[in-house]
Amino acid sequence: MPIKRSLSDRITDGINLFLLLLLSLVMLFPFYYITAVSFSSFQEFMNTDLLLFPKRWVLDAYRFIFESKEFIRSIGVTVFITIVGSIVSLLLTSTMAFALIRKLWGQRFYLFLVLFTFIFGAGMIPTYLVVKATGLIDSYWSLIIPDAISAFNLIVMRQFFLSIPEELHEAAVIDGANDLQIYTRVILPLSKPALAAFGLFYAVGQWNTYFTAILYLNDPTKWTVQVILRQIVILDDTTNTLASAAREAARSAHLPPPETIQMAAIILATIPILIVYPFLQKHFAKGVMLGSVKG
Amino acid sequence: MKTKQIVTLLAAVCLVTGLAGCGGSNNNTGNNTANSNSTQTTTDSSNTSTNTTDTAANTATNNTTDNQATTTPDKKLEISSIQGTWASPLPDPNGNGAKMINDKFNVDLKSQFVPYDEYANKLPVVMAAGDLPDMIGMEGVDANFVKWAKQGAFLPLNDYIDKYDAIKSIPKSVWDAVTVDGKIYAIPNYFPAKYGKKPIIRKDWLDNLGLSMPTTYDELKKVAIAFAKNDPDKNGKNDTLGLGLAKSIVYGAWMGAEWDSGWYNKNDKGQLIPGNISEGFKKQVTLLRDLYKEGAISKDWAVTKSADARKDFFAGKTGIYYEQPYDISETRFKQLKETNPTAELAVIPPFTQDDGQQGFIGLPGYYELHSLNANLKDDPDKINRILEMINYFMTFIPVDQRNDQNPEFDWQHGGVGKGYNMENGVALDIDGAFSEMPETYLGVRYWAPTDEDTQPAMVLQDPFTKSFVQSAVDLLKNTKTYLDPVNRVHSDLLYAKVSELDQAVSEHTTKMIVGQESVDDWDKMVQEYLSKGGQDIIDQVNQLLTDSGIQGEWK
């Protein structure tokens, strides 16, 4: 039998629904606007104050982008480091989390080390020195290895592993499983939601790789899509100082591409990672829930 | 208890390693004069094998034959460089242009380009890591440049420059900018002082309304209001603005040096003061306030990006804005002429000032510079090779000779059909062909004997743009330009504090223009500026100017 709902309940629901719809519109509007501009002709964009629905849908902007090898290559680079980086990160995080649930000698000490990096970062220059000393400069691995394990994710994942009943381990041990088998056959299958959630975190992080790419990669052909995107969507922020006057004068020879192309680039750099979300969404929600109270 | 001990221990370890890390990096930049060749080999791990042998070879020959140093390019030298760029896409470090340089100068050029947006973040890291290439490019002189110069990261060039004709021709006003404690630490790139942003006006609008070119602030006010209210474009709609303005008062309404933000005006004590706290600037702010009240500038100007204000101007909605006659793209001008076929543009001649002068403030006269790594001190061969290359690319080729008939120009631009095309007798760079042009790789501009020699109208194709640029050049030819002396000294107080102080002034003046604050509070704002460190800056700058015998000059 459905629960009886009073009038005031319904009104509250109605208001909530309305507000939430409004909120989602506010969030969706920029996406819509960018999409609309990216499909319009530059002429129309220039002559319309607020372009909401292009009279003529054209693919000029996308054609331009796909014709420049640079953007496509950078998408390729980003896809590569996103996939490889997420896998490496998940592998390292989960194996270390697994090791840290065992009551071994020094376990607390290692956990403390992890926590320490969580609180104190090394800073840009020392990290750069390490990357340089390990010969990773100009290698894609410099984007993957230094950030492979996030201390926060590691701790949460360890917590998740701890919630798997001890008895399962014992049963597996009695059946003759070694540590590796416990990890692959017991822990991992039971942790799919957590792996999906953290995989998504890592993937989004890798997808947004920007500054480390500029810092560690000297060869511009290796740059990620966010760096290229930044170059396309140059912020035109003039300040009224004479020092910037020469810069501005010199800069005006290199005009940023038309807005339609900028918008198309934003769309192309965002869509691939957005597509990942729906597929991981259900695991993701479960993953977040599973950490909480269990019945 | 035990954890506490461990924490203390770890904290101590971290502190020590952290400090050691910093110390190490400082040593690298600081001492690299001392142990030149050894650091070179250890730091450049990215391209070790060739580098090690190369450096070894260098030292060997240096020891034996020192006289050979000058001008004999018979030994292949590896030269590395790092520089910022606005170009997009970035030039390919191994492009055809780089290969051509390698062949001509017998070098192995390893250039690295970083977009300027991020260059300011990357360069300090590379510096601190002791990873410095042979040539270091920078956009201009800033606090970092002065700091690194003082720490000995750059090579003093005083003893070398006299050997090179083009480099020697750089005027003293520009050398001053890159001189720290009497030593020249960089070779600046030419940029015309005269051809910065200038106020421009829709001359056709003036004619439509029967108005004449404004020569005073009162006339300017009348013109701007008429532009907004009297339908200057005759389209029957009230859709025009008098003056284009964007947030932070970009570009404002300066019609000469006295009203601009440079160091031109003096206070009661005879000290030069920054423009934005001067009486001249106050006049500008008063005008803008009046225009705002009358609706002659956009109601949203305080949150408008300059790109949008410019867009409005070139869409034909604004009567007065700012453009430069040098290094411009024709696209916008073509667009204006397409949508407004009757459009005519003209530079507003500078107004006569209270002191009788008449002219705009010039740019610093350079843009971008190249420093040499201090490590090169014991490698005169390499220093000379680098300077020879810079000198070569800096040697001026008159504009009318920049075509496929001139072998130097042809080579520098990668050859006709590859780096540039000839159209109507003018060489036009092919879009995106940076990597074909040797010129790209050093990022050095021709040093023009005078600003007029750059003849910016010559290279333009679009008749509308061309005629605007030519008229601007003609006007500026007979107009004086003020060289702001503050560009020629290095005040650490100025570098440290001025942006914060300017920010506060900009907030106050913005409020004054929109009427939230009264212009009568001007003196209060100036007092605040002075008491928060502005007076110290003024004192220091004036002291430096007196010590070095530099003053503002009209050219």
Tens of pLDDT along chain B (555 residues) come to 455 665 555 555 544 444 444 433 333 333 333 333 333 333 333 333 333 334 333 433 333 333 334 445 578 999 999 999 887 778 888 899 999 999 999 999 999 999 887 898 899 999 888 878 999 999 989 899 999 999 999 999 999 999 999 999 999 999 999 999 999 999 999 999 999 889 999 999 999 999 999 999 999 999 999 999 999 998 888 899 999 999 889 889 999 999 999 999 999 999 999 999 999 999 999 999 999 999 999 999 999 988 889 889 998 999 999 998 888 878 889 989 998 999 999 999 999 999 999 999 999 999 999 999 999 999 999 999 999 999 999 999 999 999 999 999 999 999 999 999 998 888 888 877 888 999 999 989 999 999 999 999 988 889 999 999 999 999 999 999 999 999 999 999 999 999 899 999 999 999 999 999 999 999 999 999 999 999 999 999 999 999 999 999 998
Conformation bin of residue A138: beta by default, left when phi > 0, alpha when psi is -120 to 50: left
Residues 145-204 of chain A with CB under 8 A from chain B are: none
| Helices of type H across chain A | 7-38, 42-47, 60-67, 69-101, 107-119, 124-133, 141-144, 151-162, 166-174, 179-181, 188-190, 192-207, 211-216, 225-232, 242-251, 259-290
Confidence of residue A148 (pLDDT cuts 50, 70, 90): very high
Pairing outcome for strands B553-554 and B366-372: unpaired
Contact check, Cβ <8 Å, A237/B306: yes
Q: Are residues A231 and A223 in contact, defined by beta-carbon separation less than 8 angstroms?
A: no
Residue from A115, A223, A252 whose CB has the most chain B CBs within 10 Å, to mutate: A252
A250/B contact by beta carbon, under 8 A:
yes
Contact A138 B324 (CB under 8 A): no
Contact A129 B21 (CB under 8 A): yes
Residue of B nearest to A240 (CA): B250
Q: Which residues of chain B does A128 touch, with a Cβ-Cβ cutoff of 8 Å?
A: 125, 128-129
Question: For residue B246, how many other CB atoms are within 10 A of its CB?
Answer: 26
Burial of B333 (0-12, 13-18, 19+ CB in 10 A): buried
* Two domains, one topology: B32-45+66-192+368-392 and B198-361+482-554: yes
Its CATH class, for the domain covering B198-361+482-554, is alpha beta
* B261 closest CB neighbour out of A124, A231, A240: A240
* Among A141, A241, A255, A262, the residue to mutate for chain B (most B Cβ within 10 A): A241
Q: Name the band, by pLDDT with cuts 50, 70 and 90, for residue A252.
A: low
CATH architecture, domain B32-45+66-192+368-392: 3-Layer(aba) Sandwich (3.40)
Rounded alpha-carbon distances, angstroms, from residue A41 to A32, A44, A59, B191: 16, 5, 8, 36
In SS3 terms, B134-163 reads as CEEEECCCCHHHHHHHHHCCECCCCCCHHH
pLDDT exceeds 70 at position A292? no
Locate the chain A residue with the closest alpha carbon to B6. A109
Q: Whole-prediction pTM value?
A: 0.80
Asked if residue A143 lies in contact with residue A216, where contact means CB atoms within 8 angstroms, the answer is yes
Question: ipTM of this complex > 0.95?
Answer: no
Judge contact between B409 and B403, C-beta under 8 A: yes
Locate B33 and state its tokens: 């004069």
Question: In angstroms, rounded to a whole number, what is the distance separating the alpha carbons of residues B24 and B18?
Answer: 10
Q: Which residues from B are below 8 Å from A265, CB to CB?
A: none
Residues of chain B with Cβ-Cβ distance to A118 below 8 Å are none
What are the residue ranges of CATH 1.10.3720.10 in chain A? 61-290
Q: Is the pLDDT of residue A239 over 70?
A: no
The pLDDT of residue B17: 46
Rounded Cα–Cα distance for residues B93 and B109 (Å): 9
What is the distance in angstroms between the Cα of B210 and the nearest Cα belonging to chain A? 28
What is the per-residue pLDDT for A285?
65
Confirm or reject contact between A230 and chain B (CB < 8 A): yes
CA distance linking residue B92 with residue A92, whole number of Å: 36
β-strand partners of B180: B183
Q: What is the dihedral of CA B185, B189, B190, B195, to 10 degrees?
A: -110
Integer angstrom CA distances of residue A38 from A228, A262, B331: 17, 8, 20
Q: Are the C-beta atoms of B24 and B30 separated by less than 8 Å?
A: no
d(CA A167, CA A186): 11
How many beta-carbon contacts under 8 Å exist across A and B?
146
3 state SS of B370? strand
Task: Sort strands B198-202 and B345-347 into parallel, antiparallel or unpaired.
Answer: antiparallel
Which helix (H) or strand (E) is B385 found in, with range? helix B380-394
- Phi, psi dihedral angles at B361 (to 5 degrees): -80, 135
| Residues recorded for chain A | 295
Distance between CA atoms of residues B434 and B415, nearest Å: 12
Q: Which is more confidently placed, A149 or B63? A: A149
What superfamily in CATH does domain A61-290 come from? MetI-like (1.10.3720.10)
From chain A, pick out residues whose CB is under 8 angstroms from the CB of B86.
Answer: 250-251, 253-254
The three-class DSSP label of residue B183 is strand
State the nearest Cα–Cα gap between B65 and chain A, in angstroms.
35
Task: Tell me the C-alpha distance between A90 and A203, whole Å.
Answer: 10
Question: Where residue A18 falls among pLDDT bands split at 50, 70, 90?
Answer: very high
Beta-strand relationship, B241-243 and B345-347: unpaired
Compute φ and ψ for B404, nearest 5 degrees: -70, -10
Largest CA distance in chain A: 78
Partner-chain contact A220 B93, CB within 8 Å: yes
Q: What is the pLDDT of residue B389?
A: 95
Q: What is the pLDDT of residues A36-88, one digit of tens each?
A: 988 888 778 777 777 788 888 888 888 888 887 888 899 999 999 999 999 99
Q: What per-residue confidence (pLDDT) applies to A289?
A: 54
Q: Supply the pLDDT for residue B42.
A: 35
- As a whole number of angstroms, the distance between CA B202 and CA B230 comes to 14
Least confident range from A199-208, A269-278, B63-72, B194-203: namely B63-72
The reported pLDDT for the residue numbered B545 is 95
* Tokens describing residue B243: 């003056």
Domain boundaries, chain B: 32-45+66-192+368-392, 198-361+482-554
User: A215 contacts in B (CB within 8 Å)?
Assistant: 121-122, 125
- Three-class secondary structure assignment of B268-308: CCCCECCHHHCHHHHHHHHHHHHHHHHCCCCCCHHHCCHHH
Interchain contact, B21 vs A126, CB within 8 Å? yes
Query: What tokens appear for A263 in the block?
Result: 């918008």
Are A47 and B315 within 8 A, CB to CB? yes
Facing B191 at nearest CB: one of A123, A230, A246: A246
Flag if B327 and A109 touch (Cβ within 8 Å): no
Identify whether the C-beta of residue B393 lies closer than 8 Å to the C-beta of residue B412.
yes
Site from B86, B308, B339 to mutate, A interface, most A CB atoms within 10 angstroms: B86
CB atoms A250 and B191 under 8 Å:
yes
The nearest CA of chain A is from the CA of B287 a distance in Å of 17
Half-sphere exposure of B302 (CA within 13 A, CB side): 15
Written as six digits, the tokens of B362 are 């010039």
Q: When comparing pLDDT for A252 and A31, which is higher?
A: A31
Looking at B65-129, list the stretches that DSSP marks H as alpha helix, in order from N- to C-terminal side. 96-105, 116-128
Q: Collect all residues of chain B within an 8 Å Cβ-Cβ radius of residue A262.
A: none
Chain B contact present for A118, CB below 8 A: no
Distance CA B456, CA B381 (A): 37
The DSSP 8-state label assigned to residue B257 in this structure reads G
